Amino acid sequence: MSAVTSTVEGFSISHAAIISATTGLEETYGDIYGVNSGSLDLQVGSYSNEGDDSILSIWDWVEMANIQVQAGYISFQLMALLTGSTLSSSGSGTGIRYDIPLWEEDSFNVANRPMRVRVPSKDSNSNTRLIDVILFSVKFAPISFNGPAYKDGLKVNYTGKALLSATNEAGVTLAKRAVGRIMSIASV
């Protein structure tokens, strides 16, 4: 194996999950299973300080990051985790039925949660790595769906806004507020 470098290239999202705000570990039912696609877009603000008929300086800042993850599998347990709703079941074996309220009025504004987005990668010496993006405080929007469509099936969309946070994913106070952090780690 060549020496590991700090220059990495990422591929497609392989994993996304909700993580615990107290331990920083993945929640028991926080896995977004079957990720099809995803994006992480930064929303910035800018102010141009003008004087003497010209721009004298520009101030830029981060407002939030918009996260979108689409999955091919619907996890009723994850929906319960993100909405604060109660998952119920009845029956047994192949006759079991799972039930959760959909778009219930008090499920739209639940507590923010930290999130991990994982991307397989390689460094500049071709060593296999992982890029983990940890978002400290994500305000999730109501879950939405695409389809069902011929040959594509039914897709579930998880969207949210990652906000500036004074604490990291494990609740530890930060020296400066941040949206999250990015890490290059050994592949497991």
List of domains in the chain: 8-46+62-186 (2.30.110)
Q: Which string of DSSP letters, residue by residue, matches 40-93?
A: EEEEEEEEEEEETTEEEEEEEEEEEEEEEEEESS--HHHHHHHH-PPPEEES-G
**Whole-number pLDDT of residue 156:** 94
What residues in the chain have per-residue pLDDT under 50? none
**Whole-number pLDDT of residue 26:** 86
**Whole-number pLDDT of residue 27:** 84
**The pTM of the whole model exceeds 0.85:** yes
